[in-house]
Amino acid sequence: MSRDKMFGDNSFSSPCNTLGFLQKNNSLEEKGRLAGQKNLLSCDNSDRDARFRRTETDFSNLFARDLLPAKNGEEPTMQFLLEVVDILTNYVKKTFDRSTKVLDFHHPHQLLEGIEGFNLELSDQPESLEQILVDCRDTLKYGVRTGHPRFFNQLSSGLDIIGLAGEWLTSTANTNMFTYEIAPVFVLMEQLTLKKMREMIGWPNGEGDGLFSPGGAISNMYSVMIARYKYFPEVKTKGMSAAPRLVLFTSEHSHYSIKKAGAALGFGTDNVILLSTDERGRVIPADLEAKILDAKQKGYVPLFVNATAGSTVYGAFDPINEIADICEKYNLWLHVDGAWGGGLLMSRKHRHKLNGIERANSVTWNPHKMMGVPLQCSAILVREKGILAGCNSMCAGYLFQPDKQYDVTYDTGDKAIQCGRHVDIFKFWLMWKAKVSRVDRRVHTCWLKKTEKHLQANKNLHGFPQHTNVCFWYIPPSLRGMPDGDERREKLHRVAPKIKAMMMESGTTMVGYQPQGNKVNFFRMVVSNPSVTQSDIDFLIDEIERLAHDL
């Protein structure tokens, strides 16, 4: 074996080395020349600051194979990445520019057919880097600007610059959360951040456990799994047949992921009992108690109650303390789904809406919603230490060797239902470092007041605002004189989809709609983007009126 070059550049011994005369330390310019690209240095003071030497590279003759790890690949790699960054920073600028549209809508068949040369099909021939850059531009062009201040369509919106930088770094580090060994810094950041979050929940000394998971639905699924493990640990080995018929309780307004968890984990959706709510969408505690008693009478075993802190549609907050009283009385696991509303724990002014959360056994909290962290960033937090590992660990020897040289309690992977786990913590940690006080202020912002004023001022809007969710109907001219009844309801039901369709085509703003219970289709405007101003809300209302005036 030839091993004469410890730590050296080993490309010399590669069989595909056709430029054997190259020296290891040849300059970038030389490399560029040898690789056959034309470099036009555009900055004269490149000595002082070589970092952003801008060369004009012809990418039409370059391919992925010319990038690192290719020999002489450094220069084209850097130029290619700078071109990509140019595309991205232009996109960022436009996202904040109200003179751009939120989207340029096309139907699926139109995009599939290919628009102006944008070909989504995968061919068998590699494309040039020039075409790859065009693909990147087109991908952004035909997408939706979720960071635009007039995008009100989802609970997650906005484009946080610090979070964005954090996510770029995360992808560059390209590692995995399962062991301290390969993610030492990220594992510790996760641990410290989860502790801070538990302190904000109010658990003594921030003790407990937790994980970042790939979204609120998975976080909620964890809560059901660990509740089952707490009361019926033998289910882990014996399956559900080792337990009696277990039932879960959650609001009729709660997120559908509780039902999904019931189906997936083997409880069955019939055993997810939906609780009635008051006119604002909050669980009625007496209904919970009645349904617990009813289940017990039937011989079922109540296991778990989910209280929602910020429901998806109405933004309702269930009364956690009253629900906790009932859970204590009947010895049930209390989970708080704060995927949406959890961010209010950062706000001195609004955190009272989650009073009682410190009595929960587990909490879901998605910083990627109200706190504006880029997708995905969701935490499952657990009061009892060790129970996540107890529930999920399988002690795989190839990852979690007990005889490592460091403290292996930092290897968190065996607590998860995942094996590989994406690094979701860094962007959040970085945002916290950069602006903890702004996060605090952010949730203080009075979107609710602004929109309430709207509803009061505009006689054609009828709605029920709460949290930053504002739900409303727009009553078009043709329905304004019509008496209430089935005909009017049916017609009103069709109004929101019609307006939404026109809105998508026009691309100027986006807001969601849905029916709920006995309410026909209504709009749900949500604000979680700090770029949004009063005039953006004005704009949305104006747009609805403009689009719907002849409905």
Site residues (CB under 8 A) for a second copy, limited to 266-295: 266-271
What is the spatial distance between Cα 364 and Cα 337, in angstroms, rounded to a whole number?
A: 5
Closest separation between CB of residue 16 and a second copy, Å?
10
What single letter denotes the amino acid at residue 50?
A
Closest separation between CB of residue 384 and a second copy, Å?
18
Helices (H), 6-47: 28-34
- Number of residues binding to a second copy, judged by CB under 8 A: 206
The stretch among 107-115, 201-209, 274-282, 302-310 that binds a second copy (CB under 8 A) is: 107-115
- Identify residues 466-485 at the interface with a second copy (CB under 8 A): none
Encoded tokens for 388: 């996540």
Query: How many residues comprise the chain?
Result: 551
Closest separation between CB of residue 261 and a second copy, Å?
8
Closest separation between CB of residue 351 and a second copy, Å?
16
What is the spatial distance between Cα 350 and Cα 262, in angstroms, rounded to a whole number?
A: 31
Between 130 and 159, how does the x/- string for binding to a second copy read (CB under 8 A)?
-xx--xx-xxx-xxx-xx-x---xx-x--x
What single letter denotes the amino acid at residue 23?
Q
Encoded tokens for 149: 């201040």
Please confirm whether the linkage preceding 367 is cis (ω < 30° from 0): no
- Identify residues 158-197 at the interface with a second copy (CB under 8 A): 159, 161-162, 164-165, 167-176, 180-186, 188-189, 192-193, 196
Encoded tokens for 534: 């009063």
What is the spatial distance between Cα 465 and Cα 528, in angstroms, rounded to a whole number?
A: 15
Between 365 and 384, how does the x/- string for binding to a second copy read (CB under 8 A)?
---x-----xxx-x------
Q: Which is closer to a second copy, CB of 112 or CB of 286?
A: 112
Q: Which is closer to a second copy, CB of 317 or CB of 429?
A: 429
- Identify residues 398-437 at the interface with a second copy (CB under 8 A): 398-399, 401, 403-407, 410, 417-423, 426, 429-437
- Identify residues 437-456 at the interface with a second copy (CB under 8 A): 437-438, 454
What is the spatial distance between Cα 528 and Cα 366, in angstroms, rounded to a whole number?
A: 12
What is the spatial distance between Cα 502 and Cα 496, in angstroms, rounded to a whole number?
A: 10
Helices (H), 96-176: 108-113, 129-141, 161-173
The stretch among 30-38, 249-257, 355-363, 474-482 that binds a second copy (CB under 8 A) is: 249-257
> Looking at beta carbons, which pairs linking 540-546 to residues 24 or more positions away fall under 8 Å?
540/150, 540/152, 540/509, 540/511, 541/454, 541/458, 541/461, 543/503, 543/506, 543/508, 543/509, 544/474, 544/499, 544/503, 544/511, 545/460, 545/474
- Identify residues 31-60 at the interface with a second copy (CB under 8 A): 42-45, 48-49, 51-52, 54, 56
- Identify residues 207-246 at the interface with a second copy (CB under 8 A): 214-218, 221, 225, 235-242, 245
The stretch among 31-39, 275-283, 330-338, 508-516 that binds a second copy (CB under 8 A) is: 508-516
In the list 255, 282, 291, 467, the residue contacting a second copy (rule: CB under 8 A) is: 255
* Cα–Cα separations (whole angstroms), residue 375 to 65, 164, 274, 426, 469: 31, 10, 29, 12, 20
Looking at the DSSP bridge assignments, the partners of residue 362 are 335, 382
- Identify residues 322-361 at the interface with a second copy (CB under 8 A): none
The stretch among 201-209, 264-272, 287-295, 474-482 that binds a second copy (CB under 8 A) is: 264-272
Closest separation between CB of residue 477 and a second copy, Å?
19
Burial class (CB in 10 A: 0-12, 13-18, 19+), 32: buried
- Identify residues 512-541 at the interface with a second copy (CB under 8 A): 512-516, 521, 524, 530-531, 533-536, 538-539, 541
Looking at the DSSP bridge assignments, the partners of residue 513 are 523
